[in-house]
Amino acid sequence: SQELEQSPQSLIVQEGKNLTINCTSSKTLYGLYWYKQKYGEGLIFLMMLQKGGEEKSHEKITAKLDEKKQQSSLHITASQPSHAGIYLCGADEGGASGSRLTFGEGTQLTVNP
């Protein structure tokens, strides 16, 4: 099965700073999802990337998938306390039994005011 490694595992930044979270796969990624989770809550969908070199942005969050489709990065510009939470990348493993997501362990982000 696909293994996803996220780095760093945790990150503490000062409000206003930029930051990057990485997600590396052991196999080619055919669908890469980014989710955000606040403590004690469910997962909120951020973005999905499929094509090599693809880049998407939503507000101050930008996600990229590299050309080889084995690594994705999530970049937050001018971080705010509202960005705090756990960020998870998930890879879509399609197959005869249907699609399913495999997740990385997550990156805990703290933004200090």
Partner 1 sequence: NAGVTQTPKFQVLKTGQSMTLQCAQDMNHNSMYWYRQDPGMGLRLIYYSASEGTTDKGEVPNGYNVSRLNKREFSLRLESAAPSQTSVYFCASIRTSSYYGYTFGSGTRLTVV
Binding site for partner 1 (CB under 8 A): 1, 31, 33, 35, 40-43, 45, 48, 88, 90, 92, 94, 97-106
Name residue, tokens 């700073």: 17
Closest CA to 65 of 108, 22, 3: 22
Between 57 and 99, CB nearer to partner 1:
99
Between 35 and 111, CB nearer to partner 1:
35
Closest CA to 23 of 53, 39, 43, 3: 3
Between 15 and 56, CB nearer to partner 1:
56
Distance CA 39, CA 35 (A): 13
We find the least distance from the C-beta atom of residue 99 to partner 1, in angstroms, to be 5
We find the least distance from the C-beta atom of residue 80 to partner 1, in angstroms, to be 23
Between 47 and 76, CB nearer to partner 1:
47
Distance CA 55, CA 48 (A): 10
Structure tokens at 23: 């997600």
We find the least distance from the C-beta atom of residue 103 to partner 1, in angstroms, to be 4
